[in-house]
Structure 1
């Protein structure tokens, strides 16, 4: 048995990227300056949905306190409080999350940390 062509040498391709954590998973992202790719973060969307639902349940009086709602949801009141803050994000930030256009700083782990109440300061906080 004879070979018609010799085996080519190994080719190495370098692709610049970095890792970020999104929803407890690692995600590869391309460096700044590359065309944006819209990818929705289901973990963030789920957290937003919960936040707005909890806000509605508290606002309608179905639950009188956060502790009561947390007990019903079988979660810690501190976690409920941190996620509930998402219901007070600037509308354009919420829209960018739903469209998958949020910046790299808009992760669930970053959003459950304290952030400014004023919408313009939120925009600056999450963009910078």
Structure 2
């Protein structure tokens, strides 16, 4: 299958993308997607789903399979606590410019969505 012949299950979006320091940058002036943040959030949701569906009994089990420490699994699973509108911002590439994946992994995220929004505002 070539890019010019999409299947029924795909959508072709013509963008010129450049990778710069872990970020995908669209030449069209579109929002900047931080690939590292998206990876952290995506892995967190995936691992939480593995726990919720009973594929693995604990974060330690996931850590053994993934080759990471249990604390890494626990830190990333916390991404599931993010407010839905903040997740939408991240997915749309509209995250605060100073927010990094490293910060998200290393710091406590409040459980209150209001506190999370205030925290994100401090990074703008």
Q: TM-score, normalization: structure 1?
A: 0.68
CA root-mean-square deviation: 1.9
Closer, same or farther in 2 for the Cα pair 1:70/1:59, shift >3 Å? same
1:92 alignment counterpart: 85
Based on CA coordinates, which of the two structures has the bigger radius of gyration? 1
Instruction: Give the gaps of 5 or more residues in structure 2.
Output: 1-20, 24-28
Aligned residues: 96
How far apart are residue 92 of structure 1 and its match?
A: 0.8
| Larger relative contact order, structure 1 or 2 (CA cutoff 8 Å, min sep 6) | 1
> 2:52, 2:88 → 1: CA distance?
22
Per-residue CA shift, 1:21-48, capped at 9, x if unaligned? xxxx488xxxxxxxx9610111111111
> 1:71, 1:88 → 2: CA distance?
23
> 1:104, 1:124 → 2: CA distance?
15
Q: TM-score, normalization: structure 2?
A: 0.71
4+ residue segments displaced more than 3 Å: none
Instruction: Give the gaps of 5 or more residues in structure 1.
Output: 1-24, 28-35
